[in-house]
Structure formats: structure tokens, C-alpha cells
Chains A and B, each alone.
Chain A
């Protein structure tokens, strides 16, 4: 634990830790879009039909949230696999303790998924506005419930002393002071992600914020880029507050991992990224546009925050498990053949996916 994550462990452990962290970042890229996007939409709907019609972000979200949800689920499968190689026993135990409550995320996910498609339907468009608000609010609440369940499950994994009493009590809820601030941290961290993703997506779909806004795009006195800046800056502020609160609930060992050589550098990267994002979004709000260069810097800041957050998160978990014992399991896992097949297929799949996008763009251009 005296070297930066994920070094300082045996090679197999470092390999699985890296694969888990990378795929979790990928999951977060889409999961954040869904979590913050559905919240943005639910709040946006409160502005009424005329204003919503002007807000290009809401149209993009209505259109793309179902696909993003599909991607969030698909991207979630890989860390789900690797977390079981790394911490299979703890993960399964927390799942089992939360039992029906945990399994509830699945029907909720199905309902939310269909609610997102419903938002795109002409059937809902013909109903009264309030129904669109209700549908958006329900979808958003469902995703928050799912996020809460993942957070609760994660914290329960780490708290071995709670397992037996929780099982005996039959309670399906793990009440820990860390759950709410941690959930808030994830929730708020989703907004800077959404904001920068919308910047790039908007460019592809014709909502370009590098140019000064047209008067017709202004809603409640805010141009499109300022609406994104507001979301991103609220996220940055919320993350800072939630992070501070969450820090209070950490044990001394957790803090040592977080601030020591294992997680400290990553925490620094995450905070630096956050500062960068705060600065660039303030600048964008001030200039009322997000020039290309500023967008690139914001993206780098955002990626730094996300990667730093995920690595710091794992550093804390590592003090709760006997990594030396688990290293044996990881060595066994790594001795099983198949890694080259995975790497080859992953590379081919990436090529095929890129080809799909290029071919579709070319096809549409024709």
C-alpha cells in the first residue's frame, strides 16, 4: 500500500485492478449521462412546454437517453465481471444481504428504460404537459434509486462487522452514515460529465456552443452554454460539499489510504481536475460560449476528476480486504488462459464500432 494505485501489488492483482478501474470509468461515462440527464430533464420539464421547446439540450436528452441507458448497462457488465474476480465474495455477500431490495434495481431499471422510450413517443406528446413532467420525474427517481442501491451495496461490502447482525435482523437496508454523502458525491459528479458530454454531442448534432448564442435559444435568461455551466458548476459545488461530508464518515485507515501514497496522488488529480473544470466553466459562462480549446481543457479536467475519483475509491476499498490472501485468487485467475483472445476481440470490436459510426456518417452524407 506504499505505492500509487494500482502498482505495489502482484502483477495479476494490478492487472485486474486496472481492468476494473478502466471499465468502471467507462460505465460512469454513460451512467453519469443517464443520471444527470434524467434529472436535468425532470427539472427542465417544470419550466413548461414553451420554454422546453426552446431548450435544445432537453430535445437531445429525450432523443438519446434510451441509448445512453443501454450503453450504461452494457458498460456496467465489464466491471461487474472484474469486481467478482477482485472481490467476488464481498460483492456476493452484500448482494445477498440486501436481497430483494438489491434485486429491485432490475424491475426499476426496466421501468425507467421504458419511461425513457415513452418520453420519445407521440402518444405522450399528445397528453397534458403534467404527464411529461411526471414521467420524467419517475425515470429520474428510478435512476437515483439504482444509484443509491449501488452505493449501499458498495459500502456494505466493506463493512464485514455489519454482515452477521444485518442478516440476523432480516432488514433489507444498510443504514450507514456514509451512504447519503457518498450517493450525493456520485450524483453531483454526474453533472460536470453531462455538461461536457452535451457540449461535444451538441457539436455533432448542430447545437454548437463555440459560437455566441442566438436570442431565441435563451431560456429564463440563460443561454445554452450558461445552462450547461450552471449544471456543471452546481455539480462541482455539490461534489465538494458531499466529498467533505463523506470524508467525515471515513475511518482513520480509510483516510490513510485516501491521503497516503496509494490514493493520495489520485485524489490530487481528481481535485486538480475539479478546479480546472470549475475555472473553465466559469470562463465559458462569462464569455457566453465554449470555444474549442476551452472545451478540450474542460474535457481533460473532467477525465482527470473521473479517473482520480475511481482510483481513489478503489484505494479505500483495498484497506478493507486482505489483499495478500486475495492475491492468491488473482494469481489463479490470471493463470487461466484466454487473455489474448479477449484483447484481440476487444481490439477488433473497437475497430468494428468505429467502422459502424464512420459508415453510418458516410451513408447519411450520401
Chain B
């Protein structure tokens, strides 16, 4: 359908949908979504774990196990509301908006596929806000039994929102049988669902326990003995961290082999992030179990803050890995990172990735010729979601030093150059335009630049593209392998030769 000169396709699996691409200047888009995601996940887990912790504290209090709990719960809840209800809720909306800015098609597919799940999550979100706010306002004046029920509802509602969103997020990496039957529940209860849910629940409990240790020291009016007894109770959930290595291993086990490969040595930044997450969690776990729970050492405000900061680092590492290892897909085997449908590459190689793009290039006059403008359009459509031209992870930095021949070959066989990149999905003319653009910028953007339209070069590019095929680069990342052997197949070097 054509409206106002713009083509508006509605079949969700058209090879490529054109949106106005946002330019974040030197900032990589992944950093924007990743950075925000870390803050949001940390706050959300604080809220979820906080609910569970406070419910348990109230229960202990009613059984006479923690006389100070009631006062502490009220103080903790105020912080929970001020931090998590405001920042947590708004960063949640921000995640949605940022996802649209970075990859509107990915979020569009997720919304379409899981809209009832999301709507269901929203109902629990409403319950969480109402029960939480009522507790915040009236909790101190309520009898214990009502407090317990209110906290129970709050904790249940917040954990349920994790339950629902976890199914959607884990589906992106391990869609499992959904790829064959497109059944929403098969996608929701995907292979990564359970390990991820349990892991996140324990992370939430640990973050809430550490935040409690910080607050116990910050709330005025408690004596040193009071604090010590509260810390001894609040730190108990940290013992669940003992299960983290097993759950982590389980999660790694169900990941696609190539994704696991990126995180375990195949890709240096991913491996570093995973090490960061594992290292920080280990430090927290060791300190908690040996020092706090066994030797009953007192945790002062500074130590608690440090442990909480480590928990943030662990969350950051974990979230970067989760986002990163999906490459070259945003939805495994379905949608590439640059929002091109897996099955659409062949179509775009014939039709071109920019042919239907209605959005002009900004400052087109500043390019030395039309071919470079085309190159800019190709970059925008296929590369800009992960790269900048000259900022972070810049293509000109990465490919500017290659010879022109290398550039042609490496881009024509992009998935072989690095298997966490999708295959090039355009015509040879588009590829050559991109090659010229990189060369032109690397040369300092001279005012005149020759057109490159040698037929033999284009033929050679086509031959190289055909050689590499239209599938992903890693042999274990192909759909056939995924469906035949499941995601568990191991032992393939992810950045090895195809």
C-alpha cells in the first residue's frame, strides 16, 4: 500500500521495513539501550526482591522472630517507593521508547507476538502500584495481619511482572519450538525461560538483601545491636546465591552454541562482561556466606554499599552479555540485528536494501557524489544499528585501513568476516557504494571522488556474496542445525572458519 508517497507494508515478515533512522552521533545505539537496560533491571530487581524480603520480614515479625522488623519495613518501603516506583517505572517506559528508537521493528515484532502477555503483565503492574502505594501510605497504621497480606500481594504482583517479561526476553535468545509452530506459549515457555526466571529471582533477592544492609546502616534510631540483628536476618536470602553457578551453567547450556561461544572466549568484550558478572557475583556470594552468615560479622554502611555496587556491576555484565550474545540476531533465527528478516536477505540482494527507503540522506549535498549518498543510505539501513561511521565501533576505524579489495570481500562475506554480523543484504551496487563511502571518509572526505561502476567489480562482488550464502556465518547458527540438534550442540569455535 502506498500512502503519501511512502510504502507502508503490513506483513510483519517483509524483508525490511523502513523507518527514519535516528542518529545518535558518536554514540553506539547498543550502548544507549544497554546502559538504560542495566539501570532498569537493577531497579526492577530491587523492587521485586524488596517485596519478597519485606513480606518475609513481616511474617518473621509476627512469629516473634524479628522484633525490629516492623519499623525497618516502613523505612525500607519509603525508599522502595521513592527509588523504584519513580525511577523503576519511568525507566521501564524508557526501555520501551528506547527500543523503538534503536530497533522499531524488533519491538514491533515482540509487541505483536506477545501483546496478550504484555497486557497480562500490565494487570500485575497495576496491582503492584496500588498495593505498594497503599502500604507506603497506610502501612504504619495498619494491623500486622493486613500488612502481611498487603505485602504478600505486592510481592506476588511484582514477581509476576518478572515472570511475564522474563518469558518474552528469554524468547529473543532461545525461541525454541516457536520457530516452527509460532505458538505464543511455546515461545513463552522457551528453553531459557526457567533458568533465567530462577536466576533473576535469586539476583532480585540478593540485591534487595544488600540494599537492606545499606539501609539498616542509614536509618537513624537503631543501635549497633539492633543493626547487627537486622543484618543477620536481612542477609539470609544471600544464601540462595549458592544456586547461581548451577543456574548460570544451565542457562549457558540452553543457549545456542554460537552464543555460548561468544561469551566463553569467542568474543573478547562478551567474555569480559561475563567474567565481570561472574567475578562480582562470586565476591558477593563468598563474602555473604563466609563473613556475614557463617562468621556473623557486622556489615557496616560502607561495606554494604560496596557489595551493592558489586551487585550493580554483576547486573551490568549480565545484561550486556544477554544483549550481546543474541548477535547476529535480535530474535534468534528470525530477525537479524539490523531488523532484516532472516529469510529476506535473498530478496534484498536482488531488490536492494535502499530501493524502497523513502527517507532522504541528511546533508546529501556534502557528499562528493551520488554513489556516496547511496553508500550512506546503505550504512543507515544495514550497519547503523551496531556501528557509527566515525564514533564508537566506527566502520571507518574498523575497515578504513583495509585495501579496497579486502573491503569488498569482507563486506560481501560479512557473516564470515565476523559471524556475529548478519550477511550483507543488498545489491552489489549498494555494497560498492558502501565500500566507496568508507574509503572516502577514511581519505578525509575530499571534495571530488571518482565513481566506481566497473561491471567486473560488481560481478566479483556478486560471486563473493553468493559464495557466502544468505544465512548466518556460524555453522551452528543456521536454522537447520538449530532445529535438528537443538541449541545444545557444542564444540564449535564461533569465530572460526565457516
Contact = CB atoms under 8 A, between A and B. Distances in A.
Contacts of B117: 338, 341
Contacts of B141: 363-364
Nearest to A81: B118
B115 A362 contact: no
Interface string A157-177: 000110110011010000000
Given A74-B125, A89-B17, A96-B100, A352 B153 contact: yes
7 contacts: A70-B129, A74-B125, A92-B104, A168-B361, A332-B112, A356-B150, A363-B141
Contacts of A328: 10-11
A47 interface: no
Q: State the main secondary structure of chain A at its contact with B.
A: helix
Given A96-B101, A103-B98, A345 B123 contact: yes
Interface in A282-314: none
Nearest 10 A/B pairs, CB to CB: A338-B116, A160-B4, A363-B146, A92-B104, A349-B123, A363-B142, A167-B20, A161-B4, A168-B360, A106-B94
A337 B184 contact: yes
A77 B93 contact: yes
B119 A342 contact: yes
A161 B3 CA distance: 8
Q: State the main secondary structure of chain B at its contact with A.
A: helix
A97 interface: yes
B146 A164 contact: no
A163 B138 contact: no
Interface stretch (A107-115, A132-140, A184-192, A211-219): A107-115
Interface string B123-161: 111110111011001100111001001100100010000
Contact of B138 (A93, A170, A363): A363
Nearest to B105: A92
Interface in B406-440: none
Contacts of A223: none
Contacts of A161: 4-5
Contacts of B143: 363, 366
Contact of A360 (B122, B150, B185, B360): B150
Contact of B112 (A78, A85, A113): A85
A10 interface: no
A84 B116 contact: no
A70 B10 CA distance: 34
B113 A356 contact: no
A95 B97 contact: yes
B86 interface: yes
Contacts of B149: 359
Interface in A311-337: 321-322, 325-326, 328-329, 332-333, 336-337
A95 B126 contact: no
B408 to A, nearest CB: 30
Given A93-B20, A349-B123, 10 more contacts: A80-B96, A81-B115, A85-B112, A96-B22, A106-B94, A322-B8, A328-B11, A342-B120, A353-B131, A357-B130
Tier of interface size on chain B: 35 or more
A90 to B, nearest CB: 8
Tier of interface size on chain A: 35 or more
Interface string B8-45: 10111000010111100000000000000000000000
B116 A337 contact: yes
B345 to A, nearest CB: 22
A76 interface: yes
Contact of A103 (B85, B101, B119, B359): B101
A150 interface: no
A167 B357 CA distance: 12
B82 interface: yes
A145 interface: no
A325 B14 CA distance: 14
B3 A338 contact: no
A345 B10 contact: no
Contacts of B123: 342, 345-346, 348-349
Given A96-B22, A160-B6, A360-B146, A333 B1 contact: no
